[in-house]
Amino acid sequence: MNSSFKELCKVFEKLENIAGRLDMTSLMGEFLKQCNIYDIQVISYLVQGRVAPKFVDSEFNYSEKSLTNLLNQYFEDKEEDIDISSIRQETGDIGDAIYQVSEKLVKRRKSRTIQEIYEILWEIVNTSGSGSVERKGNLILNFLTSTSDIEAKYFVRIVCGQLRLGLHSKTMMDVFSYTVTGDKELSDKFSRVYGASADIGFVASKLDQFKKEKVIEELEDINVTPGFPVLSRLVERVGSFEEVKERLGDKFLVQGKFDGLRLQIHKYTQDSISSRKVIWRDYLRSKEQGLNLFASDSSDGVQVKLYTRNLEDVTDMFPEIVEDAKEIDIDSFILDSEVLGWDYSKDTFLSYQTTMQRKRKYEVGKVSEKIPVKAMLFDLLYINGEDITQKDTVERINLLEKEFKGIDNSLRVADTLRISSVSKLKEVFDKYVEQGLEGLIVKQFEGGYEAGKRNFEWIKLKKSMDRGLIDTVDMVVVGYYYGSGRRAELGIGALLGAVYNEKENRYDAICKVGTGISDDLFKQILQELKGIEVLKKTKDVAVTDTLEPDVWVKPKFVITVDADEVTRDISKDKEGVGNGLSLRFPRLIEWDREKALEEITTVEELTTIFEAKRS
C-alpha cells in the first residue's frame, strides 16, 4: 500500500521530541515496516532532506529567504496582514512559521502519498535556468495551498534544507536492521553496503519483505561499482610512535600524509553502472545540468569520474586527471588518492591553500594552467571488473604498485615503505615532515578497505603531535559572542564550538574560538551565521552555563580548530557535557569545512586524544 506523506510527517513530529537513538530507531523502524519498498527508499532520502544521494546533483536550491518573500507577497496580494519574517523570527524555524499560518493558506486540502511528494520534490529540483526561483515558488505555493499544516511544515523544511531529524546515516543502518531483526544484528552488514554504495536509498532497496535470510543474501551480493562513489576509509589517531607498533604489530605500511584533497578516481564503461538499480535514476534530467552519471561522453563508452571524500562530483575540475586516467591501459578501476597542486619544474607539491584553488566550477581551464596538479595514488579498490576491497591492504597496495607502475603524469603511485621498527618510523616521520608533508599514514598489512569506517588499521601521525595536541578537532558552530573592544564593532568576537556526543545524539559545546580569525573572515562568518540564527538553543545542543553564547545558531558550519591541549574540568563533567573536556588556547584553522555533521570529532575521540596525551 502507498503510505501517506501525512503519516510520515507525524512520525517526524514524534522524532523531534525524542533524543535517544534507540527510541528513534524503533519509532522509524516500526513505520518503515508498514511501507512498501518504493516508499522506504524515498523516505530514506527524505529523512536526510534529499531526493537522491549526495553524489547526485539534486539540490533544491531554494532558500528560506525566497520562501519568505514568496509568502509575504502572497499575503500582501490577499491583503492579509501577515509577516512571515517576523513569525519566523519568533518561532526560530521556517517550518514552524508556515505551520502557524497554514490555515490562511489552504484553499482545498488534498492528501498525498509519499510517492507524489517525491515527484513534486524532483520537479522543484529539475526546475532550473532563468526565472527558476519564481517557477519553483509556484510549485511550492501550489503545494502549500492544498495541504495540511503538518505536511506544510515538513515540506518547507525539506525544500529549504532545514530538516534536521538527527537520523544520521549510522542511525538509519540501525533502523534498517530493526525492521528485519528487531535489533542491531544486521547494522554492520547494512553499513558495509552503505560504505560501498554511498547511497542510502540503494541500501534501503534491499529491505524487500524484511526476511532475514533473503536480506542477508542480497546485502552480501553487493560490491563496489565503478562510477558510483565509495565512502572514504578514515584514519584513527594515536598519542605516540610506540602506540603504532602496539596496535599494528611487527610490520606496517607507511605512506606520506599528503595535505590536499581526497580524490577517488573511477574509470568504467556503461555496462558497469547499468547494473545498479536506483529509484532516482528516472528523474535525472539531461546532461546539460551536469547530471551525466549515466551518459557517456566518449565514443568508446569509457567514462572517468572523480569524487571527493564528501561525495562531491569534481570530474570537471581536474580535466588532466580525467585525460590521463583514460589513457591508462586498464579498462576499469577505482583508485583512492590525494590530489595536490604540483610544481612540475621542481617535482614537488604546493601548499594546501594553492591546491584548493583548483576546486572550482568556473574558469577551470585558466586555473589548471596556472596550478597543475598530481594525484598521489595510495590505494586500489577495484580493477578490471573485480572488487578487491576485501583483500588485505598490503595486497591491494602490491597490486597498485604493479599495475600502475611507471605512470607519472597527473597520476603517480605514492611510495609505500614496509617498516618494522619504531626508530625507523620516527626517522621517516622526521624526513617527511622536513620535506613539508603533514606527517605519515601508517597502515596495517591485514584488513580490507572498510569503506566509511574509522579504526586502528589506518593511523595518522601528524606534525601537531610534537606539540600539545595530537590532532586538530572538527567542531560545529552552535553560537557566537559579540566580543569586546574592536571586535564588538564587528558584532562578533568568538564562536562557540561543539563536538558530537554520539551516545546522546547531540552536540556538546566545549569551547569558545576567537583566535586565528581575521576581521574580514569574521565579517564573512557573521554574514553566514545571520542566516541560521535562532532565538533559543536548539534541542540537539548541550552547553554548560559558563559558555552560553550571546546568539544561538543552528548547527550547520563545521570548523577545524587547533589548540595547545585538551583539558578536563571535573565540575563541568558533572553536567555531562562533552565529558568535561575543553580545548586550551583554541585557534581556528579552517572555516566551513565541507564535512557532514556526523563526521565531526566525537566526545569519544576527544577523550582518546585527552587520554593519549596524558599517558
C-beta closer to ligand ATP: residue 291 or 459: 459
Q: Exposed, middle or buried, 170 (CB in 10 Å: 0-12/13-18/19+)? A: middle
Q: How many residues form the binding site for ligand ATP (CB under 6 A)? A: 15
Q: What are phi and psi of 174, to 5 degrees?
A: -65, -40
3-state DSSP call for residue 412?
strand
List the interface residues with ligand ATP, window 318-347 (CB under 6 A).
Answer: 338
Residue from 306, 413, 441, 499 in contact with ligand ATP (CB under 6 A): 441
* 257 touching ligand ATP, by CB under 6 A: yes
Rank residues 426 and 463 by Cβ distance to ligand ATP and give the closer one: 463
186 or 334: whose CB is closer to ligand ATP? 334
Task: Give SS3 for 109.
Answer: coil
Q: Does 477 bind ligand ATP (CB under 6 A)?
A: no
Cα distance between residue 397 and residue 403, in whole Å: 10
| Under 8 Å between Cβ of 128 and 30 | no
Task: Determine the residue type at 437.
Answer: L
Shortest Cβ 412–ligand ATP spacing (Å): 12
Interaction between residue 500 and ligand ATP (CB under 6 A) = no
Residue 378 near ligand ATP by CB under 6 A: yes
Contact flag: residue 262 with ligand ATP (CB under 6 A): yes
Binding mask 408-437 for ligand ATP (x = CB under 6 A): ------x-----------------------
User: Does 309 engage in binding with ligand ATP (CB under 6 A)?
Assistant: yes
Q: Tell the smallest beta-carbon distance from residue 259 to ligand ATP (Å).
A: 7
Amino acid type, 276: R
The separation between CA 453 and the C-alpha centre of its own chain, rounded to angstroms, equals: 13
Catalytic residue, candidates 54, 136, 206, 257? 257
Find the binder of ligand ATP among 27, 106, 120, 234 (CB under 6 A). 234
Q: Is 449 in the site for ligand ATP (CB under 6 A)?
A: no
Count of beta carbons in the 10 Å neighbourhood of residue 554 = 21
Query: Nearest-CA neighbor of 194 among 174, 208, 164?
Result: 174
Active site residue 104: no
Q: Is 593 left (phi over 0), alpha (psi -120 to 50) or beta?
A: beta
When asked if residue 120 is in the footprint of ligand ATP (CB under 6 A), the reply is no
Binder of ligand ATP out of 25, 41, 58, 255 (CB under 6 A)? 255
Nearest CA to 522 among 565, 492, 567?
A: 492
Burial of 484 (0-12, 13-18, 19+ CB in 10 A): exposed
Select from 108-116, 188-196, 251-259, 366-374 the region that touches ligand ATP (CB under 6 A): 251-259
Minimal distance, residue 386 CB to ligand ATP, in Å: 22
Interface segment toward ligand ATP; rule CB under 6 A; list 137-145, 211-219, 250-258, 382-390: 250-258
Residue 62: name the closest of 151, 123, 147 by CA.
Answer: 123
* Beta strand residue intervals within 212-323, DSSP E: 234-237, 252-256, 261-269, 302-308
The residues binding ligand ATP (CB under 6 A) are 232, 234-235, 255, 257-258, 262, 309, 338, 378, 414, 441, 460, 474, 599
The residues annotated as belonging to the active site are 257
